[in-house]
Structure 1
Amino acid sequence: MKNIHSIEFYTGSKEELLPDFEKDFPYIASRAELDKYIGGYVPWHWHRTVELFYMESGSIEYDTPGGKILFPAGSGGMINPNVLHMTKAISQREKNIQLLHIFDVSLLAGEQGSRIEQKYIAPVITAPQIEVIPLFPGNAEEERILKLLAASFRLSSDEFGYEIKLREALTEIWLMLFELSCSMREKKGEHNKSNDKIKLMMIYIHEHYREKISILELAAAAYLSERECYRVFHDCLHMTPVEYITTYRLQIACQMLAKGQEPITVISHECGLGSSSYFGKVFREYAYCSPTEYRKKWQNSDM
């Protein structure tokens, strides 16, 4: 299991890049130490794989277009493929360990279009009303899944038959999730076109954040009117387009401050935030410290 302290993305996108993903066994296990992530959070992103996780310690908040869910230690859940989400540690003063299974559904379903995929996989991953399946102690059914989930992370890749044992464990968990999600699947849900539109506009921002971005240009990237652009951002990210643009620029600034030695004035212009005085003002509002203080904090940390 690989310890991770950061997340990688495809260039110009917020689709997560999974560098260790192999076609012959589309699966990776991660031990995410969220308290060591720059800023203590993972920004808005998505991936084409299933995310199955267990909170070993600490507490995190998952944000999706559907709302927020708090996951304390001992809880867990499943994030459906292509669902926009972000996570943040509730406290950076405590150890925050999240264990993750990231896998393509073909690991369980086999060949595309198989009977297993049609009967047990597709009904869950194609249900637009299912963003997250949360699992909490205290509910007998969910607790059984959590025990299996915690045990599945104890499998060692060095032991004989590891791949088969892992697939068997994930299949058993999936069947239980399938049954648990029955009531969620019965609720009516339609494909939310806003989900596709917001991704197009996010990609546009990630490619042009250094430049001045008008709402008209941003809306045009997703073939929307300005009014629809505002509505989609509100519905999906619970913020305005300008707020997201500024937040994204500040996130880039945080990465540059934590990892490099560029002067503050260079960073402010590189991130599209203008003068160093304006940058200092908005950065302090965002991070509750100056850019220089932020740099010292993260470059002196034990990441």
Structure 2
Amino acid sequence: MKNISTIEFHTGSKEELLPNFASDFPYIASRVEFDKYMGSFVPWHWHKAVELFYMQSGVLEYYTPKGKQVFPAGSGGMVNSNVLHMTRPLAESGKSIQLLHIFDTSFIAGQQGNLIEQSYITPIIAVPQLEIIPLYPDHPEQSQLLNTIRESFQLSEDDFGYEIKLRGVLSDIWLQLLSMSRPMLDEKGAYDKINDKVKLMMIYIHEHYSEKISISEIASAAFSSERECFRAFHDCLHTTPVDYIKRYRLQIACHMLAKSRETITFISHACGLGSNSYFGKVFREYIGCTPIEYRHKWQDSDI
């Protein structure tokens, strides 16, 4: 299981870049300790792979376009394919640790278009209103499934037949999730194209964050008006385009401060945050410390 402390993106699609995710074994197991995660939260992102998770400790907030759900220790759930989401631990909840199975559904379905995919996979991943399937231990049926998810992280790569055992347990979990989510699957919901538009706008920002960016340029990237741009960010990401740009630039700055020896001046300009004084002011406001303090924290540790 890989310990994750930062998020990276594919150059083209800007989906999350999943380390060691291979076409012949489209699966990774991750462990996130949020006090060791850059910025202490996971920023807005999406990926084609589904995300099955279990909260080992602490309390985690999951944000999606439809709102927020809270997951305390012992709870868990599944984030659907291509769903925009971000996660943030509650500060007063203590050390938050999350365990994740992230896998392409082909890992359990097999060949694309086959009967298993049509009957058991597509009914979940093709439903626009099904962003997250939450699981809580106070519900007997969900509690049993949560135990299965928790125990699945104990499988060892060194065990004989590990890959088959893993596919078997994930298939069993998926079948139970399908059964539990049937009431939601029967609800009629139209696909909201605003999700695709906001992804295009996010991609534009990710590609041009070091430059001056106007709202009209962001909107044009998704063939939208400025009014639609503001609405898309408000409805999907619960923020403004300007604030998203600022937060993304700070995210890049945090990565550069932790991973490089570039000067503060170089980093502030490279991230599109201008002068040292403005960079320092905004950094402290959002991150809670100065850029130099942040660099010392990350470069002087073994995290």
Is the TM-score greater than 0.5? Answer: yes
Q: Which runs of 5+ in 2 are unaligned?
A: none
Deviates more, 1:185-194 or 1:204-213: 185-194
Normalised to the residue count of structure 1, the TM-score between the two structures is 0.95
Partner of 1:261: 261
What letter corresponds to residue 282 of structure 1 in structure 2?
V
Which residue of structure 2 aligns with residue 187 of structure 1? Answer: 187
Answer whether contact 2:56 2:74 (CA < 8 A) is retained.
yes
* Aligned equivalents of 1:22, 1:259: Cα separation in 2: 25
Given that 1:41 and 1:88 are in contact with CA atoms closer than 8 Å, whether structure 2 keeps it comes out as yes
C-alpha distance in 2, partners of 1:25/1:277?
47
- Other-structure match for 2:53: 53
Q: Deviations over 1:184-242 (max 9, x none)?
A: 11222111101111111101001101111111111100000111111111111011111
Cα distance in 2 for partners of 1:106, 1:13 equals 20
Q: Which segment drifts farther, 253-262 or 228-237?
A: 253-262
Q: 2:219 corresponds to which letter in structure 1?
A: A
Alignment match, 2:29: 29
The corresponding residue for 1:147 is 147
| Deviation of the 1:39 alpha carbon | 1.2
Structure-2 residue corresponding to 1:276 = 276
Letter aligned with residue 296 of structure 1: H
Distance in structure 2 (CA, Å) of the matches to 1:107 and 1:295 = 39
Alpha carbons of structure 1 residues 58 and 176: separation in structure 2 relative to 1, 3 Å: same
Q: Deviations over 1:100-130 (max 9, x none)?
A: 1111111111111111111111010010001
Following the alignment from structure 1 to structure 2, what is the Cα–Cα distance between the partners of residues 148 and 193?
36
Q: Which residue of 2 aligns with 1:295?
A: 295
Q: How many residues get paired?
A: 303
* Aligned partner letter, 2:151: A
Structure 1 residue 93: deviation in Å? Answer: 8.6
**1:51-99 deviation per Cα after TM superposition (whole angstroms, max 9, x unaligned):** 1011112222111111111211111110001001111222399433211
SS at match of 1:262: coil
Q: Give 2:125's aligned residue.
A: 125
The reply on whether 1:250 has 2:250 as its aligned counterpart is yes
Q: How far has the Cα of 1:12 moved from its partner?
A: 6.0
Q: Which piece of structure 1 moves more, 233-242 or 25-34?
A: 25-34
Answer whether contact 1:35 1:94 (CA < 8 A) is retained. no
> Partners of 2:260 and 2:160 in 1: how far apart?
44
Q: Secondary structure at the match of 1:224?
A: coil
In structure 2, what is the Cα distance between the partners aligned to 1:58 and 1:291? 27
Kindly state the Cα deviation for residue 13 of structure 1 after the two structures are TM-superposed.
Answer: 5.2
Say if 1:201 and 1:24 are closer, same or farther in 2 by CA, change over 3 A.
same
CA RMSD of aligned residues (A): 1.6
Structure 1 SS opposite 2:9: coil
Structure 1 position 256, deviation (Å) = 1.6
Q: Give the secondary-structure state (helix, strand or coil) at the position aligned to 1:47.
A: coil
Which amino acid is 1:48 matched to?
Answer: K
8 A contact 1:40–1:92 mirrored in 2 = no
**2: CA distance between counterparts of 1:7 and 1:287?**
17
Of residues 26-35 and 124-133 in structure 1, the stretch that sits farther from structure 2 once superposed is 26-35
Q: Who is 2:196 aligned against?
A: 196
Mapped partners of 2:212, 2:25: distance in 1: 43
- Residue equivalent to 1:113: 113
- CA distance in 2 between counterparts of 1:174 and 1:55 reads 18
Amino acid at match of 1:230: F
For residue 91 of structure 2, give the secondary structure of its aligned residue in structure 1.
coil
Structure 1 gap ranges (5+): none
Output the amino acid matched with 1:34: F
Assess if the C-alpha contact under 8 Å between 1:13 and 1:202 holds in 2. no
Give 1:247 deviation, angstroms.
1.1
User: Match of 1:205?
Assistant: 205
CA distance in 2, matches of 1:195, 1:225: 15
Q: 1:50 touches 1:80 (CA, 8 Å); kept in 2?
A: yes
Counterpart-to-counterpart distance in 1, 2:250 and 2:23: 35
Question: Is residue 31–residue 100 contact of structure 1 (8 Å, CA) maintained in 2?
Answer: yes
Q: 1:239 to 1:12 in 2, by over 3 A?
A: farther
Provide the identity percentage. Answer: 66
Query: What letter corresponds to residue 189 of structure 1 in structure 2?
Result: G
Amino acid aligned to 1:172? D
Looking at structure 1, the residues matched to 118 and 136 of structure 2 have their Cα atoms a distance apart, in angstroms, of 28
Maintained 8 Å contact 1:10/1:17: yes
Q: Distance in 2 between matches of 1:89 and 1:79?
A: 17
| 1:93 to 1:302, Cα distance in 2 relative to 1, 3 A | farther
The answer (yes or no) to whether the contact 1:12–1:206 under 8 Å persists in 2 is no
TM-score (norm 2): 0.95
